[in-house]
Amino acid sequence: MYRLTVIPGDGIGPEVMEAALHILEASEIDFNYETAHAGNECFKRTGSTIPDETISTSKKSDATLFGAVTTVPGQKSGIITLRKELDLYVNLRPVKSYEGTPFLFEGLDFVIVRENTEGLYSGVEKYTDDGAEAVRVVTRGACERICKFAFEYARKNMRKKVTAVHKANVLKKTDGIFKDTFYEVAHEYNDIRSEDFYVDATAMYLITKPQNFDVMVTTNLFGDILSDEGAGLVGGLGLIPSANIGDKNGLFEPVHGSAPDIAGKGIANPSAMILSTCMMLKYLGEVEESQKLEKALTKVLRDGKVVTPDLGGVASTMEMAEQVKIIFEGL
């Protein structure tokens, strides 16, 4: 039996989490889950955005499902803290176009592998007399393990190419280390093509010829920006899942945020949360269940009859989830 931690969070987080759990109950896997807390509402109740109990519970789980949290300036980030505490050094963002959704390019299917612990997100910042400065931390160890993950992912998933994205022409030391390490790792994977582009060129290529990408690996800030650009290619953040993966733990979350403007209305698109659940199932080794769930969601999206307003329908979050569940049970 799998032991899961469920962190609903803020805004639409609890709504899309309820939808995902409703469907997951129809799966053929045995699991139980413990609900933990994080985010702004948690802060209002406990004085902490990420209590120690939440971190401890996640560490002891086989996987964690995370809804969404509201980030308030000055508060400690719950999700970044979890990434650091669980050493979730990989952020995995699939970019895939589904029939029936407002994608810009048909047939897109590539993955962005983002280093999740270093770069400008290391939290090393300070004010100066004239403003502020931040330290960009890049280590060979972190570069090596993220590049190895990208190539291993490509090999296991029958992908043919890995593209490194950097700015080594300007950031000669930090991105120079990343680029050099990438090609050192690439030598161990002669069956997979390797290439590299500058991040600004990549931003253009994502618009002009995104079909050319397969697996992309990059540093923290670049990965954060490019993955949101990728979301724009396939219909928006409501359709993009993500996985945060380390050597011992995995955390799975939609990337759409807490969306306070529609929270409580019951109209949030549950697709990204459902797809994040698919990624969790695959991480746990339940590949068949993962494929079945994605197939069920794909059919609902393609039919377009029971979908939320952002997809052109009139269904509520739970009505769409129920439709996915019915199809999932029949597969």
Q: What are phi and psi of 218, to 5 degrees?
A: -160, 175
Phi/psi at 124 (nearest 5 deg)? Answer: -95, 90
**Which residue from 280, 253, 241, 262 is spatially nearest to 80, judged by alpha carbons?**
253
Where in the sequence numbering do the catalytic residues fall?
121, 167, 200, 224, 228
The phi-psi region of residue 131 (left if phi > 0; otherwise alpha if psi is between -120 and 50; otherwise beta) is: left
Strands 63-68 and 2-9: parallel
Q: Where are the beta strands (DSSP E) in 214-314?
A: 215-218, 241-245, 250-254
Which has the closest alpha carbon to 322: 297, 287, 286?
A: 297
Are residues 4 and 32 in contact, defined by beta-carbon separation less than 8 angstroms? yes
- Residues in the chain, overall count: 331
Tokens of 45: 């109740």
CA distances (Å), origin 99, targets 8, 10, 62: 28, 30, 32
Burial call 221-245: b when 16+ CB within 10 Å, e when fewer: bbbbebbeebbebbbbbbbbbbbbb
